[in-house]
């Protein structure tokens, strides 16, 4: 599914599966909003979403981006280095600048079959920018989402109570904010549910 040159875009309620390249490719010019919600994107050979400026000679800017309540599963099947949901550009002239982004209520499973794949949600090779980023109430399967942003440094980040699922203890492994939950699929009576109760980074998890 590809959108080129659009100003304001809404993509809702689609099932996108078994695509040989990106599930959704959006190449906007400057716009007020981009909304991607309530979609199922699965089994793409490349990234689930690719967003970059249409004009390769000039960067683009979008005021408000909302990526909410989607299911991303088994994407990046032929990529061995990045399990990526969103990619925003690999050169300065075509990078996308976003004033505020909300990534909320999504379910994400690790895409690449490579054991060493980076569990990244967003990736941009050092180009593009997000000023405000709200990252909350998402569910991440095993091996996903230690760091939702790569080579991006928003001036304001809001990390809500995201949920994670996987094997083994999250302590020293899963990076999250206080209040996050982790469901250990191989846990016992007192080691199945963990809550992030203190600290920063990947420490401060308490079994309940």
Task: Express each pLDDT in 63-97 by its tens digit.
Answer: 899 999 999 888 777 765 555 667 666 666 667 77
Beta bridge partners of 120: 147
Lowest mean pLDDT of 32-36, 104-108, 127-131, 175-179, name the range. 127-131
Q: Is the model's pLDDT at 144 over the cut of 80? A: no
Q: Which residue, among 153, 58, 64, 56, has the nearest Cα to 102 in the 3D structure?
A: 64
Q: What is the mean pLDDT of residues 117-146?
A: 68
Q: In Å, how far from its chain's centre is CA 123? A: 9
How many other CB atoms are found less than 10 A from the CB of residue 17?
13
Give the best-scoring range by mean pLDDT among 10-14, 164-168, 184-188, 197-201. Answer: 10-14
Give the rounded percent of residues in the chain with a pLDDT score beyond 70.
71
pLDDT class of 104 with cuts at 50, 70, 90: confident
Beta bridge partners of 163: 139, 181
Three state DSSP letters for 28-61: CCCEEEEEEECCEEECCCCCCEEECCCCCCCCEE
Lowest mean pLDDT of 56-65, 155-164, 189-198, name the range. 155-164
Pull the structure tokens for residue 39: 């979609």
Q: Is the model's pLDDT at 60 over the cut of 70? A: yes
Q: Is the model's pLDDT at 201 over the cut of 80? A: no
Pull the structure tokens for residue 164: 């994670």
The SS3 assignment for 26 reads: strand
pLDDT class of 116 with cuts at 50, 70, 90: very low
Number of Cα atoms under 13 Å in the Cβ half of residue 122: 23
How many other CB atoms are found less than 10 A from the CB of residue 5?
9
């Amino acid at each position: 599914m590809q959108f080129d040159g659009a100003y304001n875009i809404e993509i809702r309620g689609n099932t996108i599966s078994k695509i040989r390249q990106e599930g959704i490719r959006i190449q906007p010019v400057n716009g007020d909003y981009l909304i991607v919600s309530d979609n199922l994107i699965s089994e793409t050979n490349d990234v689930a979403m690719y967003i970059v400026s249409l004009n390769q000679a000039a960067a683009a800017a979008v005021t408000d981006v909302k990526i909410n309540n989607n299911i991303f599963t088994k994407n990046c099947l032929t990529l061995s280095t990045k399990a990526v949901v969103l990619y925003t550009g690999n050169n300065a002239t075509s990078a996308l600048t976003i004033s505020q982004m909300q990534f909320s209520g999504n379910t994400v499973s690790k895409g690449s079959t490579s054991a060493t794949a980076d569990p990244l949600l967003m990736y941009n090779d050092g180009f593009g920018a997000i000023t405000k980023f709200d990252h909350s109430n998402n569910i991440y399967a095993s091996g996903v989402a230690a760091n939702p942003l790569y080579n991006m440094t928003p001036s304001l980040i809001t990390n809500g109570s995201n949920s994670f699922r996987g094997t083994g203890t999250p302590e020293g492994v899963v990076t999250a904010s206080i209040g996050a939950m982790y469901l250990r699929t191989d846990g016992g009576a007192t080691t199945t549910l963990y809550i992030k109760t203190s600290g920063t980074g990947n420490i401060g998890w308490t079994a309940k």
